[in-house]
Amino acid sequence: MAGSAAPKHDVFQAIADPTRRSLLKLLGEEELPVTAISSHYPMTRTAVSKHLRILAEAGLVSERRVGRETRYRLEPEPLQELKKWLAYYERFWNNKLAALKRFVEDDEPEAPADRTIVDTSMGKTDL
Amino acid sequence: MAGSAAPKHDVFQAIADPTRRSLLKLLGEEELPVTAISSHYPMTRTAVSKHLRILAEAGLVSERRVGRETRYRLEPEPLQELKKWLAYYERFWNNKLAALKRFVEDDEPEAPADRTIVDTSMGKTDL
DNA sequence: AGAACGTGAAACCAAATGGTTTCATAATAA
DNA sequence: TTATTATGAAACCATTTGGTTTCACGTTCT
């Protein structure tokens, strides 16, 4: 099941919207159908539904059909990608070494390398 | 001297774009001027410059004028907001899906898990 | 069966986004 | 001084995004 998710929207994009972050929080509490969910928001039911779809495509919520309603609930796993991404940067505030490094670099007249191709992950980070 | 950060763009939005995430990574390595930065990307210098501005508005990079160039570098503090946001959801995979998750991808034996969420490594969001 | 409910799809729209080209300006080099 | 370099600002453009209204369809309740 590890690779069953083929995220059309990535997590970063999914959580960029405040409404969607709010939805995640709401759906972490309990599973809810669309109409109940949308009653919490100042927008139409359809708009909420579209946000839910984007979250679903990112794998952050699951849909379950129950009778005539569709119930949504939080699916936290994809957030691990975020966590992993963040972990890379923790060294910058956990280590004061980073600050030291910058200090040293500031003393240098010229930094040599702009050849370093740090960027390897411009596209998708499909896990 | 905590940054006079009045984020015009929020962090969530800033990191939503893959190019901007790549920029953060690049600028974590070293401070760089715009032209050097943009040589790594398939878009115009101006486009890169705009991305940098968005990152700067989110407080994620700082600009420093040196002669005729503007050097940018990573400013990791605002990422703590992200970390804090994420921390809320950790309980969800620490509880139910923990076993499954751990099976799929063993990350770090970090948090003691099923206790509280409180991650002591970051006391403040206030910088 | 017919009415009411819960939802998704479609068509549409305004604004934001990511990109471009062109131009102006400040700093350095000749 | 004049030319060149590094950059930002402005105008512009196509696509995406977040929202709406309308409509069709399956499910449940009389």
Query: CB–CB of B89 and A28 under 8 A?
Result: yes
pLDDT band at B16 (very low <50, low <70, confident <90, very high): very high
Check whether residue B66 and residue B90 sit in a common domain.
no
In a domain, A84, yes or no: yes
In the block, tokens 């569709």 appear at A70
Compute chain A's Rg from CA coordinates.
Answer: 20
Round to a whole number and report the distance in Å from the CA of A106 to the C1' of D16. 40
For the cut 50, the answer to whether the pLDDT of residue B3 exceeds it is: no
Residues A15 and A67 in one domain: yes
Residue A70: CB atoms within 10 Å: 16
Whether CB of B70 is under 7 Å from strand D: the answer is yes
- Rounded distance between C-alpha atoms, residue B51 and residue B117, angstroms: 34
Output the distance from A10 CA to D4 C1' rounded to whole Å: 43
CA dihedral B74, A95, A79, A37 (to 10 degrees): -80
Q: Is residue B1 part of a domain?
A: no
Residue type, B30: E
Are B61 and B17 in a shared domain? yes
Give dist(CA B54, CA B51) in Å, integer.
5
CA separation for the pair A24, A75 (Å, rounded): 9
Which residues in A lie closer than 8 A to residue B98 (C-beta atoms)? none
Does pLDDT of A1 surpass 60?
no
Q: How many distinct structural domains can be found in chain A?
A: 2
Q: What is the mean pLDDT of chain B?
A: 78
Nearest CA to A112 among B41, B52, B31, B66?
B31
The domain containing residue B91 runs over which residues? 77-127
Shared-domain flag, residues A60 and A92: no
Average pLDDT value for chain A: 79
Question: B101 near B88, Cβ under 8 Å?
Answer: no
Angle between the N-to-C axes of helices A45-57 and A18-29, in degrees from 0 to 180, rounded to the nearest 10? 80
Give strand D nucleotides closer than 7 A to any protein Cβ: 5-10, 17-22, 26-28
* A127, part of any domain: no
CATH of the domain at A32: 1.10.10.10
B30 contacts on A by Cβ (under 8 Å): 105, 111, 113
pLDDT in tens, B66-103: 999 999 999 999 999 999 999 999 888 766 555 554 44
Say if residue A57 is in the same domain as residue A25: yes
Q: Are B49 and B31 in the same domain?
A: yes
